[in-house]
Amino acid sequence: MKIADALEIVSQTNPGMVRSHNEDSIAQELACGLVVLADGMGGYNAGEVASGIAVSVLATEVCQRLQDASPTDRDAASGEELGVVLLRDSIQRANASIFHAAQSQAQYAGMGTTIVAGLFYDNRVVVGHVGDSRMYRLRGETLETITRDHSLLQEQIDGGMISVEDARVSKNKNLVTRAVGIDAEVVPEIHVHDALVGDIYLLCSDGLNDMVEDEDIQSALYAMQGNLPLAAEQLIQMANDNGGRDNVSVILVKVNGEFAVPHGWLAKLSHWFKK
Amino acid sequence: MTAKLILSMDGVVLKEYPLSKERMTIGRKAHNDIVIDNLAVSGEHAAIITILHDSFLEDLDSTNGLEVNGVPTKKHFLQNNDLIEIGKYKLKYVNEQGGQVNPADFEKTMVMRAPAKPAAPGAEKGDATVGAGVIKMQAAPGAKPAALEETGKFDAQQLNPPVAPAVQPAVPAPQAAVVQILTGPNAGKELELVKNLTTLGKPGVQVAVLTRRPHGYFITHVEGASHPLVNGTSLGDQPHRLNDHDVIELAGVKMEFYFKG
């Protein structure tokens, strides 16, 4: 199945109940299997600028490269798959763009953004993230976080200083330990996961998971898996009903069919004829 | 503003201690930050570790132990107005962070520069792990550390936002409600709507959800060939607010929604 037929993608972004601007940016490129969500930070409109640069750099870079290459190709230099290399490189490129804009224009000084991106191909998803925007996966009835926040709180949880329950009432929720565009270099965290038919992937800004318990996210996704636009609307509504203190964005990707990349000489031949 | 401890005995306030250091010790001996000269208090009795806006209390293997809000405790994540008891002495923890500083300022996402290496989990247990975390945090001392780069500013519209405590506010839950099944094999059964979202039907076949929101209960059609009926009228695609004693019909089964009590 072609990727565009195998995946269903919906997204929604909302400024929330308190803030006047929306500093989140989202992009979905079904044809190349890419989804990106970024939560910007910085004065005036610099947060929007940073997150906007990040999603547009990723969308353009990744999709352009995939026009004449397959994400399963091996990168000559590292031996890694192109899909993995591409996601990492484009996040680093977004980092450089934001960093340079912030350096050269006073009103953008110090701007930065979190990012979470998923590149779907060959029955897998490559997940890249920086900061505290998350990707969740609903498989069967189980909701799991498949990214680990780059935040002070997560480090404290990992270090055994604070329990997950206590972390919910921590006052240090807003501190990220990695961000895109703050320094000249950034190290994105990249993982590859198998994607199964029936899986639903949720990308969200912290405006969702700070306001809505994972349990409620799970029940909404599970109950509404047959109506993805309604599920997205429900998630945003729950965040806003609970106070909506931050911008809230969600992207939902549902795997409706297999999307293996064809291998073998016949596939290559037909690909060659299509050019 | 910095959190503080208020020391009192028999209801008389003795002294206030701002939690201005990353680690403050409480004990009988003179080198402690908070000295309580009483034989029931161990030389080094307890420590308070403060990381930005959060403080943790730890018993340092004291002879007589300590209680927080009447419960004997070894380690505790302090919350505003917690009462620590050491013998006859009481220490009240006050951290009015949420109400005192501008909440917009305090909630803005900030980046910690020069991120410390993650503490090696599992390498050492218990107190030692806490120690490792503290060393890590020395890159960012004080309430507003220089190592923290605040990238957020806020606009004029946000100068007067509602006070937002760090703890998620308890959403005013609407009155308790129940759905009672009226027809079919399960007739008579009651379904209490205790969750924010209750599913009726089966995913993949026919689903409607009942959502509990601050201003009431709503029914929404999710999927399936036929939309549910409320009092005989078919639902559209929009959520429909339920009134007391509304009759819902879903896939041939009738049920009644009503408020409890």
pLDDT value of position A160: 87
A75 touches chain B (CB under 8 A): no
Q: Which residue has the tokens 């008579």?
A: B188
Contact B155 A20 (CB under 8 A): yes
Q: What is the mean pLDDT of residues A138-151?
A: 96
Helix ranges (H only) for chain A are: 3-6, 46-65, 82-104, 152-158, 164-167, 206-209, 214-223, 228-241, 265-274
Buried b (16+ CB within 10 A) or exposed e, A237-267: bbbbbbbbbbbbbbbbbbbeeebebeeeeee
Question: Between the CA atoms of B223, B227, B229 and B233, what dihedral angle is there, to the nearest 10 degrees?
Answer: 140
B28 close to B122: Cβ distance less than 8 angstroms: no
Task: State how far the Cα of A194 lies from the Cα of A126, in Å rounded to an integer.
Answer: 9
A223 touches chain B (CB under 8 A): yes
Contact B207 A224 (CB under 8 A): yes
Task: State how far the Cα of A36 lies from the Cα of B189, in Å rounded to an integer.
Answer: 45
pLDDT value of position B52: 83
Contact B222 A224 (CB under 8 A): yes
pLDDT value of position B118: 43
CA distance A218 to chain B (A): 10
Contact B166 A173 (CB under 8 A): yes
Closest CA to A128 of A236, A185, A203: A203
Residues of A numbered 1-30 whose beta carbons fall under 8 angstroms of chain B's beta carbons: which are they? 18-21
Q: What is the mean pLDDT of residues A234-245?
A: 95
Phi, psi of A235 (to 5 degrees): -60, -45
A43 close to A110: Cβ distance less than 8 angstroms: yes
Asked if the ipTM is above 0.90, the reply is: no
Task: State how far the Cα of B82 lies from the Cα of B52, in Å rounded to an integer.
Answer: 18
Contact B54 A162 (CB under 8 A): yes
Contact A182 B97 (CB under 8 A): no
Residues of B numbered 8-37 whose beta carbons fall under 8 angstroms of chain A's beta carbons: which are they? none
pLDDT value of position A10: 98
Strand partners, A50: none
Task: State how far the Cα of B261 lies from the Cα of B238, in Å rounded to an integer.
Answer: 29
When pLDDT is cut at 50, 70 and 90, the band that residue A125 belongs to is very high
Q: What is the mean pLDDT of residues A168-195?
A: 92
Q: Give per-residue pLDDT as tens, B40-76.
A: 999 999 999 998 888 999 999 999 999 999 999 999 9
pLDDT value of position B174: 75
DSSP notation for A246-268:
S-EEEEEEEE-S--PPP-SHHHH
- Torsion sign, CA atoms A15, A21, A23, A26: positive
Average pLDDT, chain A: 92
Contact A224 B209 (CB under 8 A): yes
Contact A170 B79 (CB under 8 A): no
Contact A160 B106 (CB under 8 A): no
CA distances in angstroms from A275 to A61, A263, A269, A270, listed in the order given: 21, 17, 10, 9
Which residues have CB under 8 Å from A246's CB, separation 6+? A16, A18, A19, A205, A206, A207, A210, A211, B107
B186 touches chain A (CB under 8 A): no
One-letter amino acid identity for B247? V
Q: Which residue of A has its CA nearest to B152?
A: A42
Q: Is A2 exposed, middle or buried (0-12, 13-18, 19+ CB in 10 A)?
A: exposed
The residue of B50, B54, B77 whose CB has the most chain A CBs within 10 angstroms, and thus the best one to mutate to test that interface, is B54
A124 touches chain B (CB under 8 A): no
Contact B97 A178 (CB under 8 A): no
Whole-prediction pTM: 0.77
pLDDT value of position B130: 33
Return averaged pLDDT per consecutive 10 residues of chain B, 261 residues in all. 89 92 93 93 94 90 93 92 93 74 57 53 36 31 39 35 42 80 89 90 84 93 90 90 93 90 73
Q: Which residue of B has its CA nearest to A245?
A: B164
Q: Give per-residue pLDDT as tens, A15-63.
A: 999 998 899 999 999 999 999 999 999 877 899 999 999 999 999 999 9
How many interface pairs between A and B have CB atoms less than 8 angstroms apart? 177
